Chains A and B, each alone.
Chain A
Amino acid sequence: MAVTAETQPRLARYGTTALDRWMATPFRLRGREVKRQTAALIILGAPAVIPLLFTVPAVLTSDGSALGTGEADTLGTGSEILLITTLLISPMVTLTRQRWFVPLRRWYGIMFGVSALADGIIASITSDFAGGPLGRVAGHSFLLVGLVMVMLLIPLLLTANTRAQHWLGRYWKVLHQLIYVVWALLLVHLAVLEGFGFQRGLNGSGPGPDGLAPLHQRLYQLVACSAFLLMLRLPSVRRWVAGKQAQDKQRVIWLAVAPFIALSLFAFAFIVHEELFKGVALLRLHPIEA
């Protein structure tokens, strides 16, 4: 159903759902009034620093060996998780009509940029690719794609604040659509980094082909997560969702997107597992080489 003048008033109520109103109310914490939204945002936003925290002991002890082995997996996978969570906010607004969690988009985006930048800087110092610092960040096809991604993230990081938003006005959104280019480049980066999981010898994720490539390869995991994120950005799907919401048929929407959510969660669990497994190992300065 198309969005009509009749459905517009309902759409205008974005940001005033029962949960949004409840989130705007305060509660008492140790004698102080704290807005529920603030508490929820802190709880949901705090995990975004975990990828960086994993690398702190290795950075503080200048353990180049540990960083060279575990940094790319920890910060790279961490950045991927943060990109997915950044891109998740808009579809969740479309699905739930709630807006209390929208500030997380900026926070996750900033932490994505910082993690990716840290990944690039540490890799240029500690990785064992031939060709000096430049060779370590641009010496192979997948490294170059990663470097281009990091370079594109710098202007996004610099303008990820209210003042820049004010200065750029309507152009701010145009500039920040670069995130979709970064998203596409991440797929290319993973494809040329690990191959498609069936190669032998060259450009594979290991010496032999991966028997369960669709489950193990980060490329496929990202594709599975991207399906849901992309679907709810399609104008036709958004119109359909708005139409069903106008008819109070929220259950139909959830039933339709449930398979995509299940697939995304399944793939996302593998990515998070790898991040925690390798990140904790790096935190203990015993990085995993497999």
Chain B
Amino acid sequence: MTAGRQRRAFTVASVITATLLVLALSAGLGEFTAHGPAFFVFRHGGTGSTPGHSTDELFLASQQRQLWDRFVIRLGERRVRF
């Protein structure tokens, strides 16, 4: 009787733990797909660990600049080809 109750309580605790874990990982996956792996892994040095003037917005802006530069270069290559 007691063993059954203990097992049930443990099952409930395990389900709660697993649900919370899935919630956290889902949130992470959502952010990963929203901004891409580079933003998820990298950031400006100091952002988050020791607040300063570096922000995520700066990182996103630099990513946008890089994407734009790549786009312009590709366009240039095509022009040469055509």
Q: Which residues of A contact B (CB under 8 A)?
A: 68-70, 72-73, 127-131, 134-135, 137-144, 147-148, 150-152, 154-155, 158-159, 164, 167-171, 174-175, 178, 193-194, 199-208, 289-290
Contact = CB atoms under 8 A, between A and B. Distances in A.
Contacts of A168: 6, 9-10, 13
Contacts of A201: 44-45
Contacts of B25: 144, 148
Contacts of B2: 169
Chain B interface size range: 35 or more
Given A69-B51, A171-B6, A205-B49, A140 B43 contact: yes
9 contacts: A68-B51, A130-B56, A138-B28, A147-B24, A147-B28, A151-B23, A152-B17, A152-B20, A171-B10
Interface of B: 2-3, 5-7, 9-10, 13-14, 16-17, 20-21, 23-25, 27-28, 30-31, 34-35, 39-52, 54-57, 60
Contact of A138 (B5, B17, B27): B27
Contact of A167 (B6, B17, B56): B6
B38 to A, nearest CB: 10
A141 B41 contact: yes
A169 B6 CA distance: 6
B48 A129 contact: yes
B1 to A, nearest CB: 12
Given A139-B56, A171-B9, 11 more contacts: A70-B51, A130-B57, A135-B31, A148-B24, A151-B17, A155-B20, A169-B6, A175-B13, A175-B14, A206-B46, A207-B54
Nearest to A143: B48
Give the 7 A-B residue pairs with the shortest CB-CB distance, closest first. A171-B10, A169-B6, A204-B45, A144-B28, A130-B56, A151-B20, A138-B27
Q: Is the interface of A mostly helix, strand, loop or mixed?
A: helix
A142 B47 CA distance: 11
A205 B45 contact: yes
Contacts of A151: 17, 20-21, 23-24
Contact of A207 (B16, B28, B46): B46
A137 B50 contact: no
B45 A203 contact: yes
Nearest to B38: A202
Contact of A206 (B39, B52, B57): B52
Contact of A131 (B5, B34, B43, B54): B34
Contact of A203 (B3, B31, B43): B43
B29 to A, nearest CB: 9
A138 B28 CA distance: 5
Contacts of B52: 206, 289-290
Given A151-B21, A167-B6, A170-B6, A131 B45 contact: no
